[in-house]
Amino acid sequence: MKMISHSTAGVVVVSLLWSAAARADDLATETPTVADTERATPVDTKDAAARGAFVLFTNPAGIGDARAHAVTIAGYDSVRSTGTFESATEVRVWGPLSLRAGAVYTNGDRTLRPSVGGRLQALREGRHGVDLAAGVFYRPEGLTEPEGEIESVVSVGRHLGSVYALGNLLYGQDPEGNERDCEVRVAALRPTGSRFLLGIDGRVRFDLGSNAATLARHNEATFDSYAGPLAGAQLGPVMVSAQGGPAVMRRNSATSYGAFAVLGVGSAF
């Protein structure tokens, strides 16, 4: 199978962002509706959490009506025998465009390293029936990219009754284009009562034909899967959540099984 080149991936993502920006300009000239006025009301932290702003794996399909949101998640991954930590803040800088910056604890060198990127919300559920966003991010470590990867992300979200379903498709590669991987992430979230949230969140990552010698030299995985239920409660201005579940990893033709558990704290502004 012919692999996607770095330049081709860049063209696809830039095209998505350019089309979304053009659509956003069109929307800005339309006459506001009652629904638009209602959406102008700032959302609270629970609303942001219910749309996936604070989950561990799945990316939200835009920043919604919040000006910014911040999240910190920490825990333990037994399949890799390491702690996990990620902290990030995403800020709306113009219309549908938001920028994200944070820090990630990497498995390879056991250090905190920066992560940055941007997201453009092309569609909104209140107007178009579905949330849709595209983004490009730098992460300091990928499935097969120990030196870091450039991720292209497309996120889709929609309410199915009282449940908000969220899905992601990601393509990542190192800056040189030698290692590549693909990810599928899904989440389903349901508010319960006035302060609580229940759901499930997970991801599957797999190699897309990276250099076998490089993977063996760095002892990198070629497949992993994490998924599990989550529960959250709003305490004042913050949402506190807990998640855990099974984890699977394949490395050098050997498959390992374990579990992960994390605690998270997030807030919208």
Nearest partner of 128 among 148, 150, 156, 88, judged by Cα:
156
> Given this model, what pLDDT does residue 43 score?
64
Domains delineated in the chain: 6-30+43-268 (2.40.160.40)
Distance CA 238, CA 199 (A): 18
Q: Report phi then psi at 143, rounded to 5.
A: -60, -50
Q: Are strands 112-123 and 180-192 parallel, antiparallel or unpaired?
A: unpaired
Assign 151 to helix, strand or coil: strand
C-alpha distance across the termini of the chain, in Å: 45
pLDDT band for 129, please (50, 70, 90 cuts).
Answer: very high
Contact 153, 168 (CB under 8 A): yes
Highest-pLDDT range among 36-40, 45-49, 211-215, 261-265: 261-265
For all residues of the chain together, what is the average pLDDT? 85
Burial of 194 (0-12, 13-18, 19+ CB in 10 A): exposed
Q: What is the pLDDT of residues 205-252, one digit of tens each?
A: 999 987 777 777 767 889 999 999 999 999 999 999 999 999 999 988
Question: Whole-model pTM above 0.75?
Answer: yes
Q: How far is residue 185 CA from its own chain's centroid? A: 8
Contact 267, 47 (CB under 8 A): no
Place of tokens 């099984």: 257
Distance CA 20, CA 14 (A): 10
- Quick one: average pLDDT of 5-24? 43
